[in-house]
Chains A and B, each alone.
Chain A
């Protein structure tokens, strides 16, 4: 076993690169999550109505409509043809996430992400077993199920239980017992299934994943030749099956992480002590030719 593998995740990167480069995207991501929530709270807290509404539908500066496309899709299959405002709002959101990566919503905007990240942190700290791990595509099944139930009942079915909009609406308008639902997601991720909610079940994530299948913004591993197998990126990635094809690709294979499951959270960029990863666009295929890395650890083990 390699020496650096025994170090806590990200410690080597912090030591070699400094604290900020090793936590940059984590901090930016938390700031982004706080920013998007803060925009909605400016109104009720400070009386600054720049943004009104919730993540399901909002109005910015009195003109820009934004609508959650999955909510609107459920409304459509439920048999309601919405007004133009909502349709335009959904098209804007669709276009934006189709460009920057659907699951950017999951890691940079969604208010449940800090909850499940906290659950995962505690899960790791307590050293718990990974527990029930349903297949990754379970969420696609659930997405289909949500649309079918919407069509059958003529309602926007997922909004009856959706913890994302419940939490967001709760913070902006009033919580009721929605906190209990959020606590359930936390406990599920902590005790039942490691990274279970966002990684395996959430149909909203599944929808945004499909949306970003051909997105432009990608993480790439152009310096994969420098990889010293410390495994920190695999440990820190919430969807770690996306890394191997890019990182372990042979010559001629793409260094891009092309899986729609990748949330573009950028943590792999942070924790890599030899800077293998970087953000780029999906047509950037360049791979740096590097001298083979020092793999002294592997021989010593």
Chain B
């Protein structure tokens, strides 16, 4: 066996120093990873400016310069302060209940962004999806109680598309209508004017981030009625179309085998 060459002390010191440095950096790096990942948890009530990339991409793109905040003409946007606001320190956000987005036509915040964290591809503010409004509390919404508050509907910049009033019978009074404010997410920009204007002490309609507000259909789902319309007929040949048993005042049910007499007949019907 050849004699081992004596190890130099410099070599040992170098290896020791390197190992120590690498260990220290791994420790500090681990802490930084933890902090950086922790910063991803955007609170539900904090909304990003229009055109903001999805949160995980946003945190890699936003340099926290605050130019969007400076160019926002309505004091809507603010930079998150360490320990005082929820979003990652120094990133822009707004709280709909405090100051909603006024949906400027020229979208100055997006124009101001030097990095593209606010996507310059957004040129029509109606295409912004800062979140979506959800009527979270039907039990306290005045319209659902049968009153005509309508404020969220009236203030909506995309009125009659993003929020409509859907009529239904008011079972409580028996002879009034309920005008239910109904959000259509495909048109809602998430500007937050409805949440801001809700007259209740705590808003019954709130703008939530899409990840919380929306479900998603499975990719393989097909809606039969849409497919049928596209195809111009049933997709499967030779389907036997059985007669439908229609509910109705009397006759249809009696005509069907095993039919029964309705429990009551409306006055003047079935003559």
Contact = CB atoms under 8 A, between A and B. Distances in A.
Contact of A86 (B22, B90, B115): B115
A145, A146, A148, A180: most-surrounded residue (chain B CB, <10 A): A145
B114 A177 contact: no
A155 B60 contact: yes
Interface string B1-41: 00000000000000001000110110011001101110110
Contacts of B115: 57, 67, 72, 75, 80, 82-83, 85-86
B83 interface: yes
B69 interface: yes
A57 B85 CA distance: 21
A138 B17 CA distance: 10
30 contacts: A56-B63, A57-B63, A58-B67, A78-B60, A79-B57, A80-B57, A80-B61, A82-B116, A83-B113, A83-B120, A135-B17, A137-B21, A142-B25, A149-B29, A150-B60, A155-B37, A155-B88, A156-B64, A157-B32, A157-B33, A158-B32, A169-B64, A170-B81, A173-B79, A173-B81, A174-B79, A175-B81, A175-B82, A177-B83, A180-B82
B65 A174 contact: no
A166 B40 contact: no
A164 to B, nearest CB: 12
B140 interface: no
A80 B29 CA distance: 21
B154 to A, nearest CB: 34
A178 B82 CA distance: 6
Contact of B33 (A85, A141, A149, A175): A149
B59 interface: yes
Given A83-B120, A142-B25, A56 B81 contact: no
B258 to A, nearest CB: 64
A61 to B, nearest CB: 14
Interface residues on A, range: 35 or more
Interface of A: 43, 49, 52-54, 56-59, 65, 67-68, 71-72, 75, 78-83, 85-86, 89, 135, 137-138, 141-142, 144-146, 148-150, 152-161, 165-166, 169-170, 172-178, 180-181
Interface string B104-146: 0000000011111100100000000000000000000000000
B89 interface: yes
A166 B89 contact: yes
B63 A156 contact: yes
A171 B29 CA distance: 28
B116 A83 contact: yes
A156 B62 contact: yes
B56 to A, nearest CB: 6
A52 B64 contact: no
A143 to B, nearest CB: 10
Nearest to B83: A177
B28, B40, B57: most-surrounded residue (chain A CB, <10 A): B28
A257 to B, nearest CB: 26
A140 to B, nearest CB: 9
A178 B80 CA distance: 11
A142 B28 contact: yes
A144 B25 CA distance: 9
A53, A160, A178: most-surrounded residue (chain B CB, <10 A): A160
B66 interface: yes
B85 A165 contact: no
A148 B29 contact: yes
A141 B19 CA distance: 12
A85 B114 contact: yes
Contact of B114 (A89, A169, A174): A89
B70 A52 contact: yes
B246 interface: no
Contacts of B63: 56-57, 67-68, 71-72, 75, 86, 156, 159
Contact of A58 (B39, B61, B65): B65
A154 B57 contact: yes
B208 to A, nearest CB: 23
B116 to A, nearest CB: 4
Contacts of B84: 176-177
A41 to B, nearest CB: 13
Contact of B40 (A59, A149, A155): A155
Contacts of A180: 82-83
B48 to A, nearest CB: 15
A181 B84 CA distance: 14
